[in-house]
């Protein structure tokens, strides 16, 4: 097995034993990306010389010393491009600073390697909305890798690199992790600093890892979590060692199955997989409890008011003046704004900006945005009440396995609705993880484990039990 296909924990053991060097790992990643990524399209760019130089200087005494990590191309890395997979920023922006998540990775000894593809500005379900290239699902060629962190998930699933970072606004880590057959962790809101993450929905966004194993996600969360004075929403709560307790199993835990997540709209085989795992965990000593999250049916509508509204505000900075490409020879200032945005943004980004601007406009704010915020509070209360009864919640990640490429554009509304199982965690600010299950007809499928706010240790423990069984 190549080093790029190994888990972070396995590589750490080999590094500390002196069996391999950091340069060995990075060289293998470079070989794998160069040889195979042309058919996958996971990476938008990478700098082999910089990665090798960092490997030669790696401090192997650090927790992640010498380990290369792929970075979603909406997280700023000093001296590297940050395109957000948009024509607006292609060849037009090089980051002058590190995001806090990158600073923390570097402080732990990791080597940021390359920029992974995504739906433009992280808006999408399939990574087909990238303005720069297409990404294939390496586990199921011809099918989407999921989105928006499709490049990050595909890079790990294809064994191009041991782990990556993604961002999750409504399921953008968990859903591609499920479709590609890797582990994807969305931490609680505020657990990881958002400083340096290009904002989509500021009250929803969260950076998180995509990895080969649950233990690897815990290792990365150890490095990434913690207070950041530059992000007013980051939390000043103690950061535990998330690798502790992974082997404790689920005996004595209460695990909830929300009846609203097992409806007629779900693929019967997906439902069967989740229920089968629940029975296995019950045989290991967990108590399975049926629960209700009654406002789930309003989650999609609520999300697609709040997220586009925040996107409309956040993307106003991309105006052809301060960031990115601008139209040549505009007639006036208004034409500069209009033409630059028209040429730079893709269809999905335009759709969400228009929707967000509409719901924030005079006469519609109270009817849509304010009402959506009230429903969001009800969704959060549903989870608070549920977590008084159970330790974690088991659900599907998506209603079906990865669709074939090209189908998302045929019916955007259908694919908006496919976010039903993931977006509630973002609205509530809770944590969630996707862990691979047995494939369905050769297509990967994931189990979603949801925990309360700052309940990462619980869901990692449960996910580890699923992984082992």
Q: How confident is the model at residue 158, as a pLDDT?
A: 98
Q: What is the largest CA-CA distance in the chain?
A: 71
For 111-170, write each residue's pLDDT tens digit.
999 999 999 999 999 999 999 999 999 999 999 999 999 999 999 999 999 999 999 999
For residue 414, is pLDDT > 90? no
User: Are 81 and 45 within 8 A, CB to CB?
Assistant: yes
Q: How confident is the model at residue 358, as a pLDDT?
A: 96
Which of 239-248, 323-332, 362-371 holds the top average pLDDT?
Answer: 239-248
For residue 438, is pLDDT > 90? yes
Q: Is the pTM of this model over 0.75?
A: yes
Q: How far is CA 359 from CA 169, 190, 347, in A?
A: 19, 26, 19
Average pLDDT of span 434-461: 98
Average pLDDT of span 302-321: 96
The count of other CB atoms within 10 Å of the CB of residue 244 is: 13
**In 3-state terms, what secondary structure has residue 38?**
helix
For residue 362, is pLDDT > 90? no
Q: From CA 437, how far away is CA 392, in angstroms rounded?
A: 18
Q: What letter does residue 199 receive in the DSSP assignment?
A: P
Report the catalytic residues: 72, 148, 172
Q: From CA 67, how far away is CA 173, in angstroms rounded?
A: 21
Closest C-alpha among 157, 151, 387 to residue 291: 387
Average pLDDT of span 173-191: 98
Torsion angle in degrees (nearest 10) through CA of 94, 99, 103, 108: -110
Average pLDDT for the chain: 96
Average pLDDT of span 177-190: 98
For residue 314, is pLDDT > 80? yes
Average pLDDT of span 422-446: 98
Gyration radius (Cα) of the chain, Å: 21
- Homologous superfamily, domain 1-469: Amidase signature (AS) domain (3.90.1300.10)
Q: How confident is the model at residue 223, as a pLDDT?
A: 98
Q: How confident is the model at residue 409, as a pLDDT?
A: 64
Q: How far is CA 160 from CA 34, 103, 130, 214, 307, in A?
A: 9, 23, 20, 18, 32
Q: How confident is the model at residue 407, as a pLDDT?
A: 84
For residue 408, is pLDDT > 70? no
For 197-206, write each residue's pLDDT tens digit.
999 999 999 9
- If residue 183 lies in a helix (H) or strand (E), which one and from where to where? strand 183-186
Catalogue the E-assigned strands of 252-315: 254-258, 287-291
Average pLDDT of span 179-195: 98
User: Are 104 and 223 within 8 A, CB to CB?
Assistant: yes
Q: How far is CA 409 from CA 2, 131, 144, 151, 348, in A?
A: 36, 14, 12, 19, 10
254 CB-near residues (< 8 Å, 6+ apart): 286, 287, 289, 389, 390, 391
């Amino acid at each position: 097995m190549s080093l790029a296909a190994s888990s972070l924990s396995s590589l750490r053991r080999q590094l500390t034993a002196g069996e391999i060097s950091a340069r060995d790992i990075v060289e293998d990643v470079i070989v794998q990306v160069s040889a195979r990524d042309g058919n996958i399209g996971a990476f938008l760019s990478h700098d082999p010389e910089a990665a090798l130089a960092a490997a030669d200087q790696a401090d192997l005494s650090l927790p992640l010393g010498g380990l290369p990590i792929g970075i979603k191309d909406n997280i700023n890395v000093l001296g590297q491009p940050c395109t957000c997979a948009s024509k607006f920023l292609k060849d037009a922006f090089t980051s002058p600073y590190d995001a806090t998540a990158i600073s923390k990775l570097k402080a732990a000894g990791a080597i940021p390697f390359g920029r992974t593809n995504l739906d433009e500005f992280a808006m999408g379900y399939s990574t087909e909305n990238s303005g720069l290239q297409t990404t294939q699902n390496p586990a199921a060629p011809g099918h989407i890798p999921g989105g928006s962190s499709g490049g990050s998930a595909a890079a790990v699933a294809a064994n191009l690199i041991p782990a990556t970072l993604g961002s999750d606004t409504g399921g953008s880590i968990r859903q591609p992790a499920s479709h590609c057959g890797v582990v994807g962790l969305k931490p609680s809101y505020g657990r990881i600093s958002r400083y340096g993450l290009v904002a989509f929905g500021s009250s929803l966004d969260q950076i998180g890892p995509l990895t080969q194993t649950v233990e690897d996600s815990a290792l990365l969360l150890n490095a990434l979590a913690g207070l950041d004075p530059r992000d007013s929403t980051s939390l000043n709560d103690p950061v535990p060692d998330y690798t502790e307790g992974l082997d404790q199993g689920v005996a004595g835990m209460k695990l909830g199955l929300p009846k609203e997540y097992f409806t007629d709209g779900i693929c019967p085989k997906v439902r069967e997989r989740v229920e089968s795992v629940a029975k296995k965990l019950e045989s290991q000593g967990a108590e399975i409890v049926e629960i209700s999250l009654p406002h789930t049916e309003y989650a999609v509508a609520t999300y697609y008011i709040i997220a586009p509204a925040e996107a409309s505000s956040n993307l106003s900075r991309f105006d052809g003046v301060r960031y990115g490409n601008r139209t040549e020879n505009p007639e006036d200032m208004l034409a500069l704004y209009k033409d630059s945005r028209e040429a730079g943004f893709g269809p999905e980004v335009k759709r969400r900006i228009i929707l967000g601007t509409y719901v924030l406009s005079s006469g519609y704010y109270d009817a849509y945005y304010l009402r959506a915020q009230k429903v969001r509070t009800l969704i959060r209360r549903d989870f608070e009440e549920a977590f008084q009864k159970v330790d974690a919640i088991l659900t599907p990640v998506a209603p079906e396995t990865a669709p074939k490429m090209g189908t998302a554009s045929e019916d955007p509304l259908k694919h908006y609705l496919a976010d039903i199982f993931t977006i509630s965690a973002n609205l509530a600010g809770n944590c969630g993880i996707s862990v691979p299950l047995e494939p369905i007809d050769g297509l990967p499928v994931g189990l979603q484990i949801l925990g309360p706010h700052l309940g990462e240790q619980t869901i990692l423990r449960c996910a580890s039990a699923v992984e082992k069984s």
